[in-house]
Amino acid sequence: MRAIERTGAQVELSDPSSIQGSPLYNEDLAPVPLSRRTWGTYNYAALWMGIAHGIPTYYLASGLIGLGMSWYQAVMTIALGNLIVLGPILLNSHAGTKYGIPYPVFARAAFGTLGANVPALMRALSACGWFGIQTWIGGQAIYTITGAFAGDAWLNAGEVWGHPKTLWLSFAVFWLLQIALIVRGIESIRRLENWSAPLILVVAAFLLVWMVIQADGFGPLATEPSKLGWGADFWLLFAPSLMGMIAYFATMSVNIADFTRYSKGQREQMIGQSLGLPPTITLFSMIGALTTSATIVVYGHAIWDPVELVSRFSNPVVVVFALLCVIVATIAVNVAANVVGPAFDFSNALPRLISFRTGGIIAGVIGILMQPWRLLSSPELYIFSWLGVTGAVLGSVAGVLTAEYWLLRKRQLDLVGLYTRGGPYEYAKGFNWRSLLTLAIVLFLSLAGAYSENGNGPFPADGLIPFLKPLFDYGWAVAFLGGIALHTAFSKLFPHRAAVPAAVEEKDRVTV
């Protein structure tokens, strides 16, 4: 079958029906035809604005300040981390835009037709954890907005597992709202992102202006120097913190093809993402830090949670509007960043049995089972343990994908072969040992030294393997760069006989 390349170096199949009988195929995993690649620059900018405007982004600076940084050191760390992660995001966006394929199908080129399930499920479980975290936060918003009208009977209801029963009910309601959106499909998500993107920024800007007026200034955090200075203490904290900030969007650096497969072209997704991610998250985290600084003057202590801050307003209309914006924006963040990817990943495991919608429901259930209320219990657990581990896991996958697509295959894939058992990506019965061995090695190097500061977390203070402890501070970088280097080396030293196929023969190339 021919693959036809159009203007802008985008490829589609001339006869999609010939792969529909494959066990690797279903409608959700199929290449998107050019006629349905309609996302433009604004769609990608709005996507990232919506994702970056989540409440956990508002929290990022608080965790770093709580560990001793000044607000400007915290914002600088966040900005640099997201500028760095934009690199692998754009690198792994290209294949989705060119071939119209989702991440788990893209991963078949590097890992094999069956081996792709390994990185797909690794990414899926990470996103499920994030889904749970965001759902817990959204549930808190529903709990607060209802409490503004129902009063103490709602807010101080009897506790179950350390939290009010009404908070658990709010958590369940928020979970159901997101699942309902997933069931409606990917286009409903795009429409929600388009108009919801500015909502929480409007609320955050309103809170900043209001609190600065009330405090008659930005408050003590804005002028308070760093407890760490700029010496060795700061740089020791900076390295793992920077890796944590990179890890914050490391999930998207792996599965971004799930979104760029709908792009009109490479230019649209590259510009849209570059405009939408680093500037937005830097501005939003800065607003969070300065607003919190002003709350110290007004309320006598720092209030980092915007939901709690909104609940202190006396005007119920303001409370309802602000919290509704928070709820809608959190749904937009969570579904786009943490359900779309796992939905495709679980679908890839059993294409004939699991659709995109079924995969989304599975992701939602696992997100609950991962107990997000525990992950948010302390900055050490959230930033170092959760972000550190997930960053290394996803960095390793991103490194292998980057090496395979850019260095080994020179951006050329056999589109039909990605859906064919026994084809060019079969390797050894569907598994490419080179990429899987690379994952095992770099994950050992980046995670075997995992430690918790002062033992305040799941790992020993000296690290699981003490002499590898320093590598844990650079987990994402070790995994990403190590993944590129080792996968390239293994593939060059032990080349696969069907390596580097030409995706589009010159005689089959049509420009229109």
pLDDT at 501: 46
**pLDDT digits over 287-303, tens only?**
888 888 888 888 888 78
User: What is each CA distance from 498 to 108, 423, 452, in whole angstroms?
Assistant: 14, 8, 45
- Please tell me the predicted confidence (pLDDT) of residue 106: 97
Token pair for residue 358? Answer: 């079924």
Q: E strands along 106-210, which residues? A: 159-160, 163-164
Contacts 24+ apart (CB under 8 A), 376-382: 376/133, 376/136, 376/137, 378/456, 378/457, 379/62, 379/63, 379/64, 379/66, 379/67, 380/452, 380/453, 380/456, 380/457, 381/452, 381/456, 381/457, 381/458, 382/63
Whole-structure pTM value: 0.83
Helix, strand or coil for residue 39?
strand
DSSP annotation of 352 = T
Burial class (CB in 10 A: 0-12, 13-18, 19+), 123: buried
User: Element (H or E) spanning 83, and its range?
Assistant: helix 71-91
pLDDT score, position 221: 67
Backbone angles phi, psi at 229, to 5 degrees: 65, -150
The low-confidence residues of the chain, meaning pLDDT below 70, are: 1-8, 56, 185-198, 221, 375-384, 454-457, 498-512
CB 504 within 8 A of CB 11: yes
Task: Identify the pLDDT of residue 28.
Answer: 86
pLDDT, position 369: 87
pLDDT, residue 297, reads: 82
Q: What is the pLDDT of residue 502?
A: 44
